[in-house]
């Protein structure tokens, strides 16, 4: 995040919600409550410095969480979120393969996991979004 503050700032000003995915990308269930809170706060501080807004949502790295992680996130005065549809874009799937992994699984309230550095995600998004619109779904930004 600190490598590209201007990119983060541009996304924020474009209306995107910049939230927390950790400072160190460690497996949270292997950390103590205090280590998790410290990691979340370090990331929050960086995001707030760039955007002026402190994150309220946290998605633990690797989707790796347990009750202790959720309790630590809550203690940091945040809400833990998790995806329910994985694009598997990190597996270097084609745009068509991602489309067929995602569209059939989306339900009301779904959170779809994409990664920012995946090769074919930018190519896949227009068809995915158009198809989801046809089914009555609309991308949304939310904060708690």
What pLDDT is recorded for position 38? 98
What pLDDT digit, counting tens, does each position of 58-82 carry?
Answer: 999 999 999 999 999 999 999 999 9
Mean pLDDT of 72-98: 95
What pLDDT digit, counting tens, does each position of 21-59 carry?
Answer: 999 999 999 999 999 999 999 999 999 999 999 999 999
Q: Which residues contact 102 (CB under 8 A, 6 or more apart)?
A: 85, 87, 112, 128
What pLDDT is recorded for position 72? 98
Question: How many whole angstroms separate alpha carbon 31 and alpha carbon 29?
Answer: 6
Question: How many whole angstroms separate alpha carbon 134 and alpha carbon 40?
Answer: 37
What pLDDT is recorded for position 143? 57
Note the pTM of the prediction, 2 decimals: 0.85
What pLDDT is recorded for position 121? 93
What's the mean per-residue pLDDT of the chain?
93
DSSP state of 52: S
**Residues 48, 110, 101: CA angle, nearest 5 degrees:** 115
What pLDDT is recorded for position 140? 80
What pLDDT is recorded for position 2? 62
What pLDDT is recorded for position 133? 96
* Residue carrying the six token digits 């009555």: 136
Q: Percentage of the chain surpassing pLDDT 70?
A: 97
């Amino acid at each position: 995040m600190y490598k590209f503050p201007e990119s983060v700032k541009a996304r924020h000003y474009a209306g995107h919600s910049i939230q927390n995915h950790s400072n160190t990308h460690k497996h949270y269930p292997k950390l103590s409550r205090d280590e998790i809170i410290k990691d979340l706060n370090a990331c929050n501080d960086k995001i707030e410095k760039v955007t002026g807004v402190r994150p309220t949502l946290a998605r633990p790295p690797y989707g790796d969480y347990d009750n202790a992680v959720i309790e630590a996130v809550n203690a940091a005065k945040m809400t833990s979120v998790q995806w329910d549809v994985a694009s598997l874009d990190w597996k270097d799937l084609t745009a068509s393969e991602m489309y067929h992994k995602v569209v059939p699984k989306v339900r009301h309230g779904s959170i779809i996991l994409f990664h920012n550095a995946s090769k074919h995600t930018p190519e896949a998004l227009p068809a995915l979004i158009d198809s989801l619109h046809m089914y009555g779904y609309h991308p949304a930004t939310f904060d708690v």
